[in-house]
Structure formats: C-alpha cells, structure tokens
Amino acid sequence: MRVFGIDCNTKYLAIAMFEDNKLVETIILPEDMNKGIRDPFTRLIKMMNDFDDFLNSLFWWDGYNVKEYKGTKYAYVEEIPFVRSAKVMRDLCAVVACTRYVLNKHYISSTEVNVSLWKKETIGNGKAQKEEVKAWVLANIPNIDTALPQDLYDAIAIAWRGVLVSGS
C-alpha cells in the first residue's frame, strides 16, 4: 500500500510517500520552490503540473504502455490552517483543491487531515511545535536527513499518521 502525506503552502508542495510502512520518497514540488514567480496563478499551475508529472513517473511506464501500480493508494493532505489574510486563505484553498484534483485524476483516494489531529496522533501533542515534529520524525523514521525543509518533516508525519489510520 502507498500512503502519501502532503503539506501544502502557497509556493510549493511537500510530499512524503510510504510504501509497505517504509518511507520511500520525500520531495518538494516544484523543486525550485517557485522562486522568482510572483503571480499566484502561475505558481499554482507550475505546482500542479510538476505534481502531475511526479505522479505519472510513479504510476506510468512510457507514453504508450500504461502500467499502473496495483495496490491501494491513499493521500492525506494537511487541512488549511486559520490564516488572517484573505488573499493567503484564497491561495491556500486553490492549492489544496488543485492538489486533490490531481490526486483524483490518478485514482488516489484523498482526505484532508486537521493539523492538531495529525500532531496528536503521531507526536502525542496536538500543539507540537516545529522542533518537536522534527525531533519525532528523526527519532521514529529511519534514515532521515537532518537538513530537510520543515514542511517535509510535517509531510512525513502526516503520511505516517496515514499509515497508522489505513492499517497498513
């Protein structure tokens, strides 16, 4: 079973993927983190195209012979936190909606997970700070780089919560 954890923000997606209870992939999309792109719509399109390409690379084999991964796939997307800026809220809503659209296109079941919920169920503290999430990931998931962006640690913890919930 493949389980994805996705932490969205307005500039990039942080994605972690577990397969059979092992972390097999962590990635930031787009890899340049949309540096230099100021228009939110252009950033969104680039993010979603890169995400679509990433999923195609996992599930498709060349352009002619479709070879989809046979097995259950789940994605857990971090719910949009409360933000004071209407513009940021609008942009985050668009990112989450488009992320779920791309997941649906690839027949990956997805659900949003509340920030406090995944922190409570993985770390044990619903109000865990960034340092606590990083420490938990480094202590509980083998072979993790200590210099990852914080959003990737969040994505790993979200995916691990998905592994626990989906019973794999």
pLDDT in tens, 74-133: 999 999 988 889 999 999 999 999 999 999 888 889 999 999 999 999 999 999 999 999
Q: What is the pLDDT of residue 73?
A: 84
φ, ψ of residue 147 in degrees (nearest 5)? -115, 30
- What pLDDT band is residue 56 in, cutting at 50, 70 and 90? confident
Mean pLDDT of the chain: 88
| Neighbouring residues of 111: CB distance < 8 A, sequence distance ≥ 6 | 74, 75, 76, 77
Instruction: Give me the architecture of the 2-166 domain, per CATH.
Output: 2-Layer Sandwich (3.30)
**pLDDT recorded at residue 62:** 47
- pLDDT tops 70 at residue 43: yes
For residue 69, the model assigns a pLDDT of 54
On the question of a cis peptide bond just before residue 30, with omega within 30 degrees of 0, the verdict is yes
Q: Is the pLDDT of residue 33 over 90?
A: no
Contacts with 13 (C-beta within 8 Å, 6 or more apart), sequence order: 6, 7, 28, 29, 47, 51, 95, 99
Q: Which residue has the higher pLDDT, 69 or 22?
A: 22
Is the pLDDT at 67 greater than 70, yes or no? no
Which residue's structure tokens are 């420490």?
A: 135
Whether the per-residue pLDDT at 63 is higher than 60: the answer is no
State how far the alpha carbon of 148 is from the alpha carbons of 35, 39, 151, in Å.
18, 26, 8
Residue labelled with tokens 């930031």: 28
Q: Residue 122 is encoded by which pair of tokens?
A: 């993985």
Q: Residues 136-140: what's their mean pLDDT? A: 95
What residues does each domain of the chain span? 2-166
Half-sphere exposure of 57 toward its Cβ, with a 13 Å CA cutoff? 8
Confidence of residue 70 (pLDDT cuts 50, 70, 90): low
CB 3 within 8 A of CB 166: yes
Would you state the torsion angle of the CA atoms of residues 54, 56, 58, 64, taken in this order, to the nearest 10 degrees? -150
The larger pLDDT score, comparing residue 86 to residue 63, is at: 86
Over range 155-161, report the average pLDDT: 96
Q: Mean of the pLDDT values across residues 20-32?
A: 90
Mean pLDDT for 5-15 is 93
